[in-house]
Every structure is written in structure tokens, then in C-alpha cells.
Chains A and B, each alone.
Chain A
Amino acid sequence: MTGPRLLRLYAAGRRVPLALLSTAVCATGLRIALLRHWDAYGALQLPLIFEAAAAVSVTATAASPFGEPERVAGRLLPYLRAAVTVALTAAAVGLLTAAGTGGHLSGGTLDVLRNVAGITGIGLLCAAVLGGGLSWTGPTGYLVAAVYALYTQWHPPVLATPWLWPARPPHDLGGALCAGLLFGCGLAAVTVRGARDRIGDPAAA
């Protein structure tokens, strides 16, 4: 019983329920958006916005409210960080995919998986470098760049780098590798050392 109890307490401290709620709101928003008919550009752009919103909800849980006392509390912390991050990412992908089922979700499940994982990876890396509270800075900046990359498919000069994978087809291997690599690096960074918190910084709200 200790394991589940610890996981529950860890999740509560990281505001995981609120993150899940936020992800559910994103999925609902996507569902509502898909009820409307969008042009090709809007149909690609809108899911990406909701995917980025879900990804920042996941990365916002990286901030620790306890700081050092938690860091020195035992060997289970890395496992907890990894488990919660992976579970939340999976939940975000699942909820967004479910929201798109039956609607005209451009790119489909593969696109959702690649985008959510990749943007979450960027957020996790930001959390490791800048701190959990500022984990959103990278994903929101990336969102603007990615939406622009989508735009350049119709308006040259085209941005076709795989690092801007939302502008590439869902089955594109380069884009998938870049997204996967960022997610892997972000997850590893947050698992091993957690979000950066500086001595004297009060905990994240």
C-alpha cells in the first residue's frame, strides 16, 4: 500500500489533478473546435494549439513545492518523477486522441503523439534548465514557430526542418525522431535531477 500512497501524495504535491483537469479542458476545447469546419490551415493549426496547451500542463507539474527536503528524502524520487511525467503525457495523448475521434482531426493519433511528446520534451528541458515555474517558455515559443512553419507550407519560404515537426506529415521519420529525442532528453533530465529549483526560491504555487 505504501507505493500507491506515495504516488498519490507525490501527485498531489505536483498539482497533478489540476494538470489532468487542464488537459481535459484542452481535449474538450479540441472537441468543440472540431465541430466547426476549418480550412486546411486552421485544421492543422488548431489541434497543435491544444496539443501545446496539454503539453505545458504536463510540464507545469515538474516544479517541486518542497525543494531540498524532498531531494534528500530517498531513492524513489526519480522513479516518481518519470512515472508521473510519462503517465501524464500518455493521458494527454489519450484524451486529445479521444477528443478527435469521429472528428476531422488532421494528422490523427500519430500527429497527436508526436506533437504532445515533442513539446512536452521541450517543456521538461526548460524545467530542468530554467526551473519548473518557467517550463512553459519553450513550448509557447515553439508553438508560434511551429504554427508559422505550417503557414509556410502555403506561403514560401518554406521551413522544412524536422525540428519543426508539426509542419511535417505524421509519418515523417525525421520529425518523429526529433520529437522523440527531445522527449527522451527532457524526461531523462527531469527524472535524474528534477526541475531546477534554487536555494531560497519559495516553492511554486
Chain B
Amino acid sequence: MNIEIDGLTRCFGSVEAVAGVDLKAGPGVFGLLGPNGAGKTSLLRMMATAVPPSSGRLRLLGRDPGGYGPRREIRRRLGYLPQNPGHYPGFTVAEYVEYVALLKEVPPARIRAAVATAIERVELGDRRKSRMRTLSGGMLRRAGIAQAIVNEPELLLLDEPTAGLDPEQRVAFRTLLRDLGQRATVVVSTHLVEDVAAACAQVALMDRGRIVFHGTPDGLAARGAGQHAGDTPIERGYSAVLAQARS
């Protein structure tokens, strides 16, 4: 298992953003669904080692990120796209991805090829010399994905990766996700349930800091039988589970 979580919590002051989550995930694409404020981003940030948990047990890639050495080892094999990724506006796309590759300790001899590959995979090859400040929102998101995958991560955490992508790009992105999921554990946090239905083998639904559903997209869709809220079976399942959790 690349992700092993037991009773994980995270508090910000008096607010308990993540309230006792248990989760296990191996290679494949894992969808994390939930309404705004459900705790998805907080859970993802803990898995990315950006913030430590308040309590509970977290093991990533077979290591405990609590120690500096194991955490650094995890980070070498990690890719992370935050919900609002920042960037240095004066950097070109290639420089931005190269900078992150250097920070991820990709061996210098491989950086040039790794950067070129990552940029090609998000179809920004023709904009590799463009400054970040000149990119559109969707292109910035793709550049963010490129920096996340530049080190061929074994654990890839993507927070709202398809926000701002046009329909064509979203379809292409799902293909990329499936490909990445062949070798790595990919966790995708999103509001867009159709992305989950199309690309994820496993899905978890969070609400108020807890996981209220964990299973397959088909399983989630099946929970929506007889519901009317939503256009697709999985959207109806999403609504049904949330309604049940809140009742």
C-alpha cells in the first residue's frame, strides 16, 4: 500500500478539518470527492507532507513522514499540485518545471529530458519558452501538472487538477491520469464527479472531515438509485450519500 492512514485528524485552531480518516490505497487512480469545506485539501496537504497531522497514523510509500529522513525520501517520490498553485511570473514554463525538478532532486543529468517529457505530456511543448505570466488559466494548470509529474512520482496528489481546462483538455488529462495510475498511486481531489467516473478505479467521498463513502465509482453510482438530484448516476449517488450522511 502506498497510502496507509488510520484515524488521521487535523485541526486548525478550534476547527477540525479532518476528523478521523482511515484510508488505504495502492497503485491506481483514486478519486477524492466532497463538497466545499469537506476536508479534501487538508487531507491532501497532509498526504503531501505540507502539514503534519494533529493525530493519527500516516504512512506514505511505506514510510512515516514524521521523521526528517523518511519524509525527504517520500518527497523525492512525490508529486503535488495544490488547489491554488503559485508560480513565479518571470519564469518560463521550462524554467518553472526545471526549478521544481531540481528541488525534487532529479539527477541533473536527467533533468533536461524529464522537463521536456513532462511539458510534452501536458501538451505545452510549443509554450515551453513562454513566461508564466503570459499563460492562460488552463495553461497554468497544465504547467502545474507538469511540475507535479516531472519526477515520475510514485505518489501523485492532484487538487482540482481539471479546474480551468477545456473539455478537450479534460479528456486528454483523464487519459494521462489512467496512464500514470498504471505505476503510481494518483489521488485526485475534485468537485467534478464525471472526472472520477471516467478515470478513477476507487473513490472516497468526504463530508465534514470524514470519509462517508469508500468504494468504486460504480458503487457510488448504485447508491443513487431512486434519487433525482443530479444529471448522471454518479452525481445522484454523490447526492444520496451526502444526504444520508447528514441525516
Residue positions of A touching B, CB distance < 8 A = 198-202
Contacts and interface: CB of A to CB of B under 8 A. Distances in A.
A200 B132 contact: yes
A199 B87 CA distance: 12
B86 A199 contact: no
Contacts of A202: 86, 89
B40 to A, nearest CB: 23
Nearest to A200: B133
Nearest to A201: B89
Contact of B135 (A198, A200, A201): A200
The prevalent SS among residues of A at the interface is loop
Contacts of A198: 89, 133
A57 to B, nearest CB: 26
B227 interface: no
Nearest to A198: B133
Contacts of A199: 133-134
A198 B133 CA distance: 8
A201 B133 contact: yes
A16 to B, nearest CB: 25
15 contacts: A198-B89, A198-B133, A199-B133, A199-B134, A200-B87, A200-B89, A200-B132, A200-B133, A200-B134, A200-B135, A200-B140, A201-B89, A201-B133, A202-B86, A202-B89
A199 B89 CA distance: 9
Given A200-B140, A201-B133, A202-B89, 12 more contacts: A198-B89, A198-B133, A199-B133, A199-B134, A200-B87, A200-B89, A200-B132, A200-B133, A200-B134, A200-B135, A201-B89, A202-B86
A200 B132 CA distance: 7
B90 to A, nearest CB: 9
A201 B89 CA distance: 6
A199 B136 CA distance: 10
A130 to B, nearest CB: 13
A199 B135 CA distance: 9
Contacts of B140: 200
Interface in B136-175: 140
Pick the most buried of A198, A199, A200, A201: most chain B CB atoms within 10 A of its CB: A200
A150 B56 CA distance: 65
Contacts of A200: 87, 89, 132-135, 140
A147 B132 CA distance: 40
Nearest to B137: A200
Contacts of B133: 198-201
A95 B140 CA distance: 46
A115 to B, nearest CB: 34
B234 to A, nearest CB: 34
Contacts of A201: 89, 133
Interface string B71-114: 00000000000000011010000000000000000000000000
Nearest to B135: A200
A136 B236 CA distance: 56
Nearest to B84: A202
A201 B133 CA distance: 7
The 9 closest A-B pairs by CB, nearest first: A200-B133, A200-B89, A201-B89, A198-B133, A199-B133, A202-B86, A200-B132, A198-B89, A201-B133
